[in-house]
Structures are given as C-alpha cells and as structure tokens.
Structure 1
C-alpha cells in the first residue's frame, strides 16, 4: 500500500511504500558522495535523515539536473529495480530547453564513449518531441533574434550525460550546460532571464513495481527558476524584461 506523506522541509516525496521512495531532487545537489567533489550534502544522506532509514539509489541524476530520483529501502529491492534499469525497460522522460528550433519529433542515434580514452562508443539512442518554440529579440552573431525549443527527451539507453551529449551532437545544446553547452546562450539566459541553472528536469519514471503486479508512474512537475523561464520564454511573457 502506498503511504501518503506531506511535503518535508528538504525533499518533496512523490512516492513511498515499504520498498521504494521517490523524491523531487532539486538542482545543484549530488546523489551521493564523489571522490572528486567537495560537496558536503548529498541526496542519499539527506533522505536517510528525513525518513529515518537507510536508502539505496537505483539510478543517477546529474548534480545540475532536477526531478524524479528513485531509491530502494533495502538491498534486495535495489537489485530488483536496478535490473529493470539495466534492461532499459524503465520509461524515463525529461524536459529540457535547447538552442534553436528542433524538428517536431525525432531520434538521436549516436554512440557515446564511456570515457575519453575509450576506443569506441556505446550504442545510444534518445527520442524527443518538441513541445514549444520561441524566438526572442536578442541579437547574437549575425542574427537579430535567437530561437529556443522546449523538448521532451526520452533516453532509450543509459549513458553518462546522454541527453546533454546527444543534443550537443545535433547542435541544439541544452541551456545552462557549462560542460557541453554554448556559452553565448548560457550568458544570455543569465543576463536577461536571471537563470543560472541547467534547464534539464527528470519529469517522470515509469516502471514495473518489483513486488506488486502493476506499473507505477512517478512524476515531478517543474518548479523554481525552470518554471519561470518556460513561462517567460515560451509564453512570450515580456521575455525582454531584465530579471
């Protein structure tokens, strides 16, 4: 039976039962400690303290990505759910803002290397559909205006930074991406829209419950700065106004 919980001071819990717990992770928070990082707070420890029991993350979200993050509440459940992710049977849907006007729908089929020194890339596919497009009155280079798309991205494989790398591959870089993005567009969003975050959000996960004969869909709606940017840019609401 699903346990209904009220919002906590730290995380909004979008689902919890005796085996699973899913939260709406804010951006700029790592899932767990990294040897290379200097962060002092992590989703694993914060959720453990919030619900009073140990948790196991069953997938990853980049530090800069917000949205649905799923944990298991015991090792056996973590293994069972992890097998679904490994089999690529979990439906993952993301929202992103990218430069330019993408096609109405499409699929990016481009191998991605696990690391820079790898000899070959691993097969990787990302489906997408355009949800909205906008043209804003800001000059850039030889153009008098700039164009952006709001997309739903569906990674069909689970490579590191897959969505960010795939949209870079088709020259529709994600806004706010300081690793694979376009610095000119990132600066524009900072200066004119006050947006300093990566515009990538894990909107939903759909998977088979590991012990109950049913599918579950976990969803987290847009919030904070992402919502404001979408409203102003794609709703064409005074987009030229300084933040």
Structure 2
C-alpha cells in the first residue's frame, strides 16, 4: 500500500531551520511534536531525512508522511502571527484573502475570530476590536485595541493622521522616481480627495516595484489612484491591472505600521516581511526581494 505524503516547497522567506519551517507551516502544532518528527526521521527532502541542524534552501521539497494528526493540524485555522503587543495594543499579521472581521461571505473565518479564539485560550479578561482596515486581498499588520477605552484613543489617533502605513506594490509599466498621487477616488458613490506618496524601488521589464505611503484613508485609494495614473496594480482585475505569471492575488502588502503610543510608551514601529507568495513572483521576474 502506497502511503499518502504531504509535500511543501520551501519559499525564499522560509529558508533556514527545518523546525522554524514546520512551525510556520503547522502553526497549531506543539513544537515538541515537530521536534519528534525531525528526530524520528519522518521529515525528508529529496536528499534524505532532515534534522534540526539541517539548512533548508529556497526550492527544496519537504516531504512527510500523512497521518490523522497532521490532517487535523492542517485543517486548523492558522494561529495569528503577533507582531507587537502591549497592555493596550495588539498588532497582528493579516494574510491576503482573510477578512478583518465577519461579513457576508466571511462569517466563519476571519482575523478577529482567530484572535478571539487565541484570547480565549489565554483566558484574557478583555475583548479586542480592529482600529483600522486592510482590503481583503491586501496583507500586512492590523492594530487591535484591547478594551473600549483603548479603542477610543487609538481610533482618534488614526483619525488625526498620526499613524503611518507604508506599502509595497508591483505596478504595470515604468514609474520613475518619486512623486505624489492626488486624483480623487470614488467612495460611497462620491468623489473624495485623496493623497498618496510613492517612491520607485526598482524597475524591470514591464513592471515597477514601488513603496507607497497613504496620507489619507479612502477605500481602494491605492488601487484607484494607480489605475488613474496609468500604472494599475498587478493582479487587480477590477481596475485594469495585468497579472504576471504565478501571481494569484493583489500585489499589495503593508510592510510598515508606525504610530506614537498614546498611553505613554515608546513609539511603535512594526515591520512585516513580504509574504512568500509575493517574493516568489519577484524572483520569477528576476527582481530582488526588498
């Protein structure tokens, strides 16, 4: 009888220690269980069994035999990746395709629900609420407030423009240098003023990798303004963006969130690495991952 196998390909951001790779792929698994798999030689790549001292390279194929426990772990919603935490704040990584909170079509699985499950395991004596949003297909850090008082003060901070968000985007065409996008965007049926600063990081072929900073916060602001400028976001079919080979989402990632701590702590700066699926697209195009 041929036993079913689980196979993964190591992405550039996953290279390195096998235990960390497994922890990333199976976030609900106890590290002791993953160590046991490595010690028993159950985890392999093409050249043989892996142990904790091995070094994974981008493109390596990691293989392990399927089991009832692994199937159960793979079926669990991933544990939220916490980027920063204080008494009043919790900043968590939002993957693309996951809604921030429950809405039509996303009632069962959303970021808020995953955090609530985590807090229930901790027996935390407080509730959390998102202070801002990211589009469904955008990845990056989301700030949650712990309790009503924190939510009010952090929400005011965002309304006052004291928080800064920087994005990485792959756009169509050649966009040179730095500048400001000020075309109005349509929000709730009306045209509203919006401002986005951009800076070119690298250009290659038919695409340009840019860094963007929002100076206002309109729905689909980046997507609408890039399209109006003639450089639509890649993967954005709604606003006319092309799709490079291998891209299965919007190429838009919030990589920095900076804000003063209104509760007397030091300023907060959170950086989020480019997700593996976007790094893979850049590598296929011959660009260096920033």
Query: TM tier, shorter chain?
Result: 0.7 to 0.9
Deviation of 1:37 after TM superposition, in Å, equals 2.8
Q: Residue 20 of structure 1 aligns with which residue?
A: 89
Structure 2 residues without counterparts, runs of 5 or longer: 1-22, 29-78
Q: Residue 192 of structure 2 aligns with which residue?
A: 122
Query: Which protein is bigger by CA-based radius of gyration?
Result: 2
Assess if the C-alpha contact under 8 Å between 1:93 and 1:203 holds in 2.
yes
Between 1 and 2, higher relative CO (CA 8 Å, sep ≥ 6) is seen in 1
Q: Residue 89 of structure 1 aligns with which residue?
A: 162
Distance 1:115 1:40 in 2: 26
Q: Residue 221 of structure 1 aligns with which residue?
A: 273
Distance 1:234 1:104 in 2: 20
Give the TM-score of the pair, scaled to structure 2.
0.68
What is the DSSP-based 3-state SS (H/G/I as helix, E as strand, rest coil) of the residue aligned with 1:202?
strand
Provide the aligned length of Structure 1 versus Structure 2: 210
Give the TM-score of the pair, scaled to structure 1.
0.81
Q: Residue 195 of structure 1 aligns with which residue?
A: 247
Q: Which of 137, 140, 150 is the matching residue for 1:77?
A: 150
Q: Residue 142 of structure 1 aligns with which residue?
A: none
Assess if the C-alpha contact under 8 Å between 2:99 and 2:106 holds in 1.
no
Deviation of 1:168 after TM superposition, in Å, equals 0.6
What is the DSSP-based 3-state SS (H/G/I as helix, E as strand, rest coil) of the residue aligned with 1:113?
strand
Structure 1 residues without counterparts, runs of 5 or longer: 1-5, 136-146, 238-243
Distance 1:180 1:68 in 2: 24
Deviation of 1:134 after TM superposition, in Å, equals 0.6
Deviation of 1:55 after TM superposition, in Å, equals 1.4
Q: Residue 155 of structure 1 aligns with which residue?
A: 214
Residues 224, 43 of structure 1: alpha-carbon distance in 2 compared, 3 angstrom cutoff: same
Q: Residue 204 of structure 1 aligns with which residue?
A: 256
What is the DSSP-based 3-state SS (H/G/I as helix, E as strand, rest coil) of the residue aligned with 1:195?
coil
Q: Which of 131, 135, 146 is the matching residue for 1:62?
A: 135
Residues 19, 133 of structure 1: alpha-carbon distance in 2 compared, 3 angstrom cutoff: same
Q: Residue 182 of structure 2 aligns with which residue?
A: 109
Assess if the C-alpha contact under 8 Å between 1:30 and 1:63 holds in 2.
yes
Q: Residue 41 of structure 1 aligns with which residue?
A: 109
Deviation of 1:213 after TM superposition, in Å, equals 4.4
Deviation of 1:33 after TM superposition, in Å, equals 1.5
Residues 213, 55 of structure 1: alpha-carbon distance in 2 compared, 3 angstrom cutoff: closer
